[in-house]
Amino acid sequence: MATTSSSRTLQEPWPWDEILDHLHDAPADLKSLALVCRAFTSRAQNHLFRIVKVDHERSPTRLTQLLSDAPHLIAHIRELYIGNCSLQTLTAMIRIAWSRLHAIFFVGNQRQDSQQPEILVLCGNSLFIPCSGSHPICTPSCRDAPPGVYSLTFESCFLPTTPYNVPTATPTPLPLITSLVLFGVEGDFSDYSTLPVDLSRLAHITFHQNTIPALETLLYTCRHTIQSLHLNGSEPYVATLDLGAFPALSRLTLGGVGTPLQRAFERSWISTLQTISYRLLWIGWEGNLRQLDAMLAGAVGKMPALRRVEVTIVVSGMGKDRGPQSEEEWREMIGEKMPRLAGRGILEIKVVADEE
């Protein structure tokens, strides 16, 4: 009787699921628990296979073999990182029947090589990976279809011009992308509309260190739906942006500040912006914070909806030799460097360790 009671207790979803969820970023512990008790296996696999990285020549082959032997693992995979793989090794991945994949990250080389166009076409085709039999990955709004890829990241990629951006066979409907990240992307990219995706509801976009002449065209074409913008305020192209041209923009995340950002603030009336977020390492932070405080103090009158300026300082070795010795001391010092925003009551300061 005691054994039956114990078995029933173990099968209860709480607290075992909660414990396993708490260990989501501790793969070694999850593997150990899965080996100790079969009841933990499914939950542990859900975390262990949530993000899959394919970043060298042999990974695609090993992944396809693993998923062929254990197809139940496919349902656990939500995010797929593809980096520095050849055309041949990636081809087999298109045949995997993805069912819950929602984000794909393409990481390549900044320099164009002989296979770049073909690899890009393959990447485009991989957005339409078949799932649930013959059904392609579809937009989340399509009934009776599995949720599809909605987040797309290109990092250190060369995006060639038409016709290389066009996949060999374009299904209907296209994947509805709501989140797009362009980091270190090169190429003309003059006709971004040839990408095999639907950007008509693009809500979140991040761009940093890109050399794409038509980037502003992409931004302004999607301006009516963009809610969140992540940019580096020290990059030259920012100076020409009219942030007031984005009627749905509510959050601006900064990867850096500088004169270009100040110019953009000076020329923009941003009636919908509610939150500005800035995260930085503590080394060299003082000048940037003073500059941000000054430029926002001069522009806040053009931001009637602004309610919060979030500043996150990433520190290393808190309480040791250098810098303030506690979080409270950090907050006090930062507040002193940003007196205008602090005086308005809209400054929120967060201090985190560098491993967070």
Q: Residue-wise pLDDT tens for the chain (356 aa)? A: 444 444 444 455 556 666 555 555 666 665 666 666 665 666 766 667 778 888 766 677 788 888 888 888 888 888 887 777 666 666 666 667 777 777 777 776 544 455 555 555 555 544 443 332 222 222 222 222 234 666 777 776 655 544 444 444 445 566 678 888 887 776 655 556 656 677 888 898 888 766 666 677 788 888 999 999 999 988 888 998 999 999 999 999 998 899 999 999 999 999 999 999 998 887 756 678 999 999 999 899 999 999 999 999 888 765 455 667 788 888 898 999 999 999 999 999 998 876 54
246 and 175 in a single domain? The answer is no
Residue 19: per-residue pLDDT: 58
Structure tokens at 242: 């009219």
Which of 191, 226, 261 lies at the terminal end of a domain, its last residue? Answer: 226
Q: What are phi and psi of 209, to 5 degrees?
A: 55, 40
Structure tokens at 285: 């932070």
Separation of first and last alpha carbons in the chain: 46
Check whether the bond before 196 is cis (ω within 30° of 0): no
Residue 87 falls within a domain, yes or no?
no
- Span 291-320, pLDDT tens digits: 999 999 989 999 999 999 999 988 876 545
Structure tokens at 217: 């065209």
Residue 32 falls within a domain, yes or no?
no
The 3-state DSSP class for residue 254 equals strand
Return d(Cα 198, Cα 178) in angstroms, integer.
9
234 and 338 in a single domain? The answer is yes
The answer to whether the CB of 326 falls within 8 A of the CB of 319 is yes
**Which residues fall within 8 angstroms of residue 167, CB to CB, at 6 or more apart?**
121, 124, 125, 128, 196
210 and 280 in a single domain? The answer is no
Three-state helix/strand/coil letters over 122-133: HHHHHCCCEECC
Residue 146: per-residue pLDDT: 34
**194: domain range?**
71-78+94-226
218 and 262 in a single domain? The answer is no
Residue 173 falls within a domain, yes or no?
yes
356 and 270 in a single domain? The answer is yes
Q: Which of 288, 229, 290 is nearest to 264 (CA)?
A: 229
Residue 45 falls within a domain, yes or no?
no
319 and 206 in a single domain? The answer is no
182 and 108 in a single domain? The answer is yes
209 and 247 in a single domain? The answer is no
Q: Cα angle at 50 between 66 and 48, to 5 degrees?
A: 70
Residue 18 falls within a domain, yes or no?
no
Residue 318: per-residue pLDDT: 56
Q: Which of 33, 56, 58 is nearest to 44 (CA)?
A: 33
179 and 234 in a single domain? The answer is no
Residue 215 falls within a domain, yes or no?
yes
- Count of domains for the chain: 2
pTM of the model: 0.69
- What is the arrangement of strands in the sheet containing 228-231, beginning at the earlier edge strand? 51-54, 79-83, 103-107, 151-155, 179-183, 204-208, 228-231, 251-254, 275-281, 308-315, 347-353
Which of 226, 252, 283 lies at the terminal end of a domain, its last residue? Answer: 226
Return d(Cα 250, Cα 304) in angstroms, integer.
12
151 and 213 in a single domain? The answer is yes
Check whether the bond before 173 is cis (ω within 30° of 0): yes
Return d(Cα 131, Cα 114) in angstroms, integer.
31
202 and 277 in a single domain? The answer is no
- Looking at the chain, the whole-number percentage of residues with pLDDT higher than 70 is 56
The 3-state DSSP class for residue 220 equals helix
What are the angstrom distances between the C-alpha of 184 and each of 157, 164, 208? 7, 19, 6
Residue 88 falls within a domain, yes or no?
no
Which of 195, 226, 257 lies at the terminal end of a domain, its last residue? Answer: 226
285 and 194 in a single domain? The answer is no
The 3-state DSSP class for residue 309 equals strand
Structure tokens at 98: 């993805």
- Span 161-214, pLDDT tens digits: 444 444 444 455 666 788 888 877 766 555 566 566 778 888 988 887 666 666
Ranges of beta strands (E only) in the chain are 51-54, 79-83, 103-107, 130-131, 135-136, 151-155, 179-183, 204-208, 228-231, 251-254, 275-281, 308-315, 347-353
